[in-house]
A and B are shown apart, each in its own frame.
Chain A
Amino acid sequence: MVVETEAGAAYKIVIGLEVHAQLLTDSKMFCACSAKYADAPPNTVVCPICLGMPGVLPVINRRAVKMTIRTGLALGCRIPEHAKFDRKNYAYPDLMKWYQISQYDLPFCTQGHLDIQVGGGTRRIGITRVHLEEDTARMIHGVDESGETYSLLDVNRAGVALMEVVSEPDMATADEAREYLVKLRNILIYLNVSTANMQDGAFRCDANISVWPEDAEVGDSKVEVKNMNSFRAVHRALRYEQERQIALWEAGEGPPEQETRGWVEASGITVSQRSKEYAHDYRYFPEPDLPPLTVGREWVESIAEKMPDLPDEIEHRLIQEAGIRAEDARQLINDRDLLRYFEQASKGYPDSQRLTNWVTRDLVRELGERKVTATDSPVPPQALVELLELEDSGRISGKMAAEIFRSMFQTGRRAADIAAEQGEQITDQDEILQAVRSAIEQNPKAVADYRSGKKQAAGFLVGQVMKATKGRANPGSVNELIASELA
């Protein structure tokens, strides 16, 4: 896509994304330590191997490889028969061995793609590779009372299996980048390979962006943007960087220098972290402690055979087979807990769109207020179905249903019990007729207005009837009876 400035100059934007996702393995990538470190005190989920003690050796976590191949298959990648691990050398205190075991020229997955929907169309974004590596320790920087800075190291995270998905520079807008991330995140979640939770750091994104005059060739230099902790941050950072780089061209200073920049959330800008002359020479070489791997074709096939339903397939099914509106389907897909809730409820309830309305609005609102996921909902799917059936039977009104739903959340009681206590809807025509007649008698002005052509006066009368019946009168019947009585 081409962006035009007010002055009329046109620029093309080139964006590629690198996503790091922590894998949901039980143990770390190369040792037997638990990979579940979230609630552990610092430096307690460690062993000589992930601490990088002298003499230790790595052993490959087979499940991590399986999850990586699973991801590659979901992204339409080739799974080459030959793969290996390499050492990526760089000196930083969070890296225990001062090299990271990663994959350089023979990753597990290559040449895939991810289709994204933008502007009503579909764009295919190339996936360069998916490879496996180990996470680093966490550094915590602080300042003590005397103003002295210090750095703390928590090694619990070091050695956790980390999968990197590298895209081709095929995206042209910040919107596309965000859409790519949303879709990739969903895929990882539905594959059960990662929580893909950005806040916990289980899903991290670095972006490469460069801007070029429309008629110029795309060059090699690019800016890598780091430190973005949400989809929104990625979107903002790319928008900012796009404008910054256009401004450089406009000022005659293009192309922008190749460098690494960090996103500063608070001020909404990127700042230079490392320029090209300080770029790392990672000195990759084959990891001598891990022999090259042959990825068996039968194994890949057995992984392919057990692929779960992917978000695109589920979305298609929701829209085509269940008849759900596209935006509602998207909302369900984007929250796997909500989708599961919906799927369970829909087993007992045929009107999918009506169920969807309840799930995506009332349920989401109640869950949001309580900050719980749909999986932990105090009102289970079956209870919601019971409520909807109660309304469908005409025994409660829509308004009553909404109130009862709220009450179900507060009390955990079933819809039928609450309805019985509050009094069910009045459907008896004679009883409603009596209330209608009484309202007509007591409100001669409204009656006169109605008869003189102000049809909205009927609404006032309906309100009076509902008030007299404490909202329990069937609204349809009330409307019909008022109309016929005043005819």
Chain B
Amino acid sequence: MPPPAGCTGQRAANPWRLHSGPGRTRRVLRPRGHRIDELWALTVSEASALLDGGEISSTELTRAVLERIDAVEDKVRAYITLTADLALEQAAAADERLSDPDAPPLCGIPLALKDVLSTQNVRTTCGSKILGDFIPPYDATVVKRLRDAGAVMLGKTNMDEFAMGSSTENSGFFTTRNPWDLDRVPGGSSGGSSAAVAADECLGALGSDTGGSVRQPAALCGVVGMRPTYGRISRYGLVAFASSLDQIGPLTKDVADCAVMMQAIAGHDPLDSTSLPDAVPDYSAALKTDVAGLRIGLPKEYLAAGLADAVKAVVLKAVDDLANAGAEIVDVSLPHTEYALATYYLIAPAEASANLARYNGVKYGYADLDAGNVEQLMMNSRGNGFGSEVKRRIMLGTFALSTGYYDAYYLKAQKVRTLIKRDFDKVFESVDLVATPTTPTVAFAIGEKTDDPMSMYLSDVMTLPGPIAGIPGISVPCGFSDGLPVGLQFMAPELGEPALLQAAFAYEKTARVGSAAPPKAI
């Protein structure tokens, strides 16, 4: 097989992937030629080029990824539901379509979907026992767009129940392992998707981000994760957690893949009244290595207490790298940052308390059929079906909305939300982007924070303000601390995705932080 153009160049985009180590079955892709059993290691862009050139088939690629899943899934446990047969059917259909030179870039690419996305005829659990056997009759808009683009669906990935959590430990089924250290969490709530990407159990994945659920696990698993502007991607079919905060976002092996995925799923949807009508730009056109003149703000509030020293050092080094590449680094302040956590934990649970009210055992999902009457059926179904974190947030939200408390909690939180948004508006008058750590620490140990919800909530402290303001953010790997990946977050004004992609891409290309990468655990 002749070498595909661009393939070798793309490898550097994910430098840590150049190294194999003990326990890792994967071999390095050589500049010339590909081993069919290593196709799972490809990025979306690489695979797309090979598929377009007719050098590999989607069926070969999909089989390779399914074999990879077979080999490592026992250790990682990224998937709740695998749809191998469906994937092979879709791959076969994609192969027919690939003869058309105008086949979309994602045609034939095997992807994973967070189990929060409604998939017609494929079980969608949202990580909850209460939807343990729920098979939706319809596709989410993003799922439909991926299907229409010819993408191959490998399965549905694990997550914290109803996307409430930062580690997948709140999954109603099992905890996903971080591929870098199987005793550590992959982050959450899109931990199944981030682990699947990191472990090459898919070429790319979709997650959802309410307070950081794409960016935080991306950082902890050393992959790229973007949360777009609120309204950029249709939420239709995204099982709602907190409607005013939820956004779907891609998790990918590199920044170029992020642009390709965004291109396929972004855009207005008449089925989502909060989706933005703005035209979708060409995201891949934003992938420039030049950051000269780009003004990047460094908000001091994100480098304060609670941030691990080692993480801080890695992130500041990354910022230096950007400065060396020509970006202008400006110290800025986002003074209301400290209120983001409290604001988030009033607004999100309040909305969740209504969004999760529908799961009552009457229409679908788990039902306690031994209950003596309808009231008992509904109470027991919720009591047995929901996990403790979900119940905690339903109670928090119910309280915050109650008569006599609404003004003091929910309404106040909405006002603070405006202040947080104004902080960003003001800063973006003088800078194009802000750069921060994505998380205060690297991946923590499984079980370390399960008894302390507050410390768990704090792991999202850097990713919460963006959603509160409705602005986009991206996390890109920027190095390691104790052998575990560290994420660099960029945030941009509304619809600033091209700027995010540009900065992340330029950083990825110039910094080559991965050269110090330790072996993965699998």
Q: Is A93 in the interface zone, CB < 8 Å from B?
A: yes
**Docked-complex contact B136 and A289, CB < 8 angstroms:** no
**Docked-complex contact B236 and A285, CB < 8 angstroms:** no
| A54-B118, A58-B273, A289-B274 known; A91+B136 contact, CB < 8 A | no
| A93-B374, A97-B358, A289-B273 known; A55+B238 contact, CB < 8 A | yes
Q: Is A57 in the interface zone, CB < 8 Å from B?
A: yes
Please name all residues of chain B whose beta carbon is closer than 8 Å to the beta carbon of A54 when the two chains form the complex.
118, 124, 126, 131, 134, 136, 239-240, 358-359
Q: Is A288 in the interface zone, CB < 8 Å from B?
A: yes
Q: Is A255 in the interface zone, CB < 8 Å from B?
A: no
Give the CA-CA distance A305 to B84 in the complex, in Å: 61
Which of the candidate stretches B45-53, B169-177, B401-409, B480-488 sits at the interface with the other chain? B401-409
Q: Is A48 in the interface zone, CB < 8 Å from B?
A: yes
Please name all residues of chain B whose beta carbon is closer than 8 Å to the beta carbon of A284 when the two chains form the complex.
401
* Chain A, 79-121, CB within 8 A of any chain B CB: 87, 89, 91, 93, 96-99
**Docked-complex contact A89 and B124, CB < 8 angstroms:** no
Size bracket, chain B contacts:
35 or more
Give the CA-CA distance A51 to B401 in the complex, in Å: 25
Please name all residues of chain A whose beta carbon is closer than 8 Å to the beta carbon of B237 when the two chains form the complex.
55-56
Give the CA-CA distance A192 to B465 in the complex, in Å: 49
- Please encode chain A, from 144 to 167, with 1 for each CB lying within 8 Å of some chain B CB and 0 for all others: 000000010100000000000000
Q: Is B6 in the interface zone, CB < 8 Å from A?
A: no
**Docked-complex contact B137 and A91, CB < 8 angstroms:** no
- Please encode chain B, from 132 to 163, with 1 for each CB lying within 8 Å of some chain A CB and 0 for all others: 00101110100000000000000000000000
> In the complex, what's the smallest C-beta–C-beta distance from B347 to chain A, in angstroms?
9
Q: Is A290 in the interface zone, CB < 8 Å from B?
A: yes
Give the CA-CA distance A291 to B272 in the complex, in Å: 10
Give the CA-CA distance A328 to B266 in the complex, in Å: 63
Chain B residue with minimal CB distance to A30?
A: B273
Please name all residues of chain A whose beta carbon is closer than 8 Å to the beta carbon of B270 when the two chains form the complex.
59
* Chain A, 58-92, CB within 8 A of any chain B CB: 58-60, 87, 89, 91
**Docked-complex contact A91 and B239, CB < 8 angstroms:** no
**Docked-complex contact A52 and B363, CB < 8 angstroms:** yes
**Docked-complex contact B357 and A288, CB < 8 angstroms:** no
* Chain B, 314-355, CB within 8 A of any chain A CB: 350-351, 353-354
**Docked-complex contact B240 and A55, CB < 8 angstroms:** yes
**Docked-complex contact A96 and B363, CB < 8 angstroms:** yes
Give the CA-CA distance A87 to B140 in the complex, in Å: 23
* Chain B, 204-243, CB within 8 A of any chain A CB: 235-240, 242-243
Please name all residues of chain A whose beta carbon is closer than 8 Å to the beta carbon of B240 when the two chains form the complex.
54-55, 289
* Chain B, 246-266, CB within 8 A of any chain A CB: none
> In the complex, what's the smallest C-beta–C-beta distance from B163 to chain A, in angstroms?
12
Please name all residues of chain A whose beta carbon is closer than 8 Å to the beta carbon of B378 when the two chains form the complex.
91, 93
**Docked-complex contact B273 and A99, CB < 8 angstroms:** no
Name the contact of B118 in the complex, choosing from A55, A59, A96, A285 (C-beta under 8 A).
A55
Please name all residues of chain A whose beta carbon is closer than 8 Å to the beta carbon of B360 when the two chains form the complex.
91, 93, 98
Q: Is B410 in the interface zone, CB < 8 Å from A?
A: yes
Give the CA-CA distance A55 to B236 in the complex, in Å: 6
* Chain B, 365-418, CB within 8 A of any chain A CB: 374, 378, 398, 401-403, 406, 410
- Please encode chain A, from 273 to 290, with 1 for each CB lying within 8 Å of some chain B CB and 0 for all others: 000000001011100111
With contacts defined as CB atoms under 8 Å apart, how many contacts are there between chain A and chain B in the complex? 100
Q: Is A53 in the interface zone, CB < 8 Å from B?
A: yes
**Docked-complex contact A96 and B358, CB < 8 angstroms:** yes
Please name all residues of chain B whose beta carbon is closer than 8 Å to the beta carbon of A91 when the two chains form the complex.
357, 360, 378
> In the complex, what's the smallest C-beta–C-beta distance from A138 to chain B, in angstroms?
14
Name the contact of B239 in the complex, choosing from A55, A281, A288 (C-beta under 8 A).
A55
| A54-B358, A59-B271 known; A151+B402 contact, CB < 8 A | no
Chain B residue with minimal CB distance to A287?
A: B243
Give the CA-CA distance A285 to B400 in the complex, in Å: 10
| A51-B363, A52-B363, A281-B403 known; A288+B358 contact, CB < 8 A | no
- Please encode chain A, from 282 to 303, with 1 for each CB lying within 8 Å of some chain B CB and 0 for all others: 0111001111000000000000
Name the contact of B243 in the complex, choosing from A48, A93, A289 (C-beta under 8 A).
A289
Chain A residue with minimal CB distance to B397?
A: A283
Name the contact of A151 in the complex, choosing from B136, B274, B353, B374 (C-beta under 8 A).
B374
Most A C-beta atoms less than 10 A away, residue of B140, B354, B402: B354
- Please encode chain A, from 199 to 231, with 1 for each CB lying within 8 Å of some chain B CB and 0 for all others: 000000000000000000000000000000000
| A93-B374, A153-B362 known; A53+B136 contact, CB < 8 A | yes
Give the CA-CA distance A291 to B277 in the complex, in Å: 13
| A91-B378, A288-B244 known; A57+B235 contact, CB < 8 A | yes
Name the contact of A288 in the complex, choosing from B243, B271, B406 (C-beta under 8 A).
B243
Beyond contacts A59-B271, A288-B351, A291-B273: 19 other A-B pairs, Cβ-Cβ < 8 A, are: A54-B118, A54-B126, A54-B359, A55-B117, A55-B118, A57-B271, A57-B274, A58-B273, A59-B270, A91-B357, A91-B378, A93-B360, A96-B358, A97-B358, A99-B354, A283-B398, A288-B274, A289-B243, A290-B273
Q: Which 7 A-B pairs have the closest CB atoms?
A: A98-B357, A288-B243, A283-B401, A288-B244, A54-B239, A55-B118, A55-B237
13 contacts between A and B (CB under 8 A): A48-B138, A53-B136, A54-B240, A55-B140, A59-B271, A93-B374, A96-B363, A98-B354, A99-B354, A281-B402, A283-B406, A285-B401, A288-B244
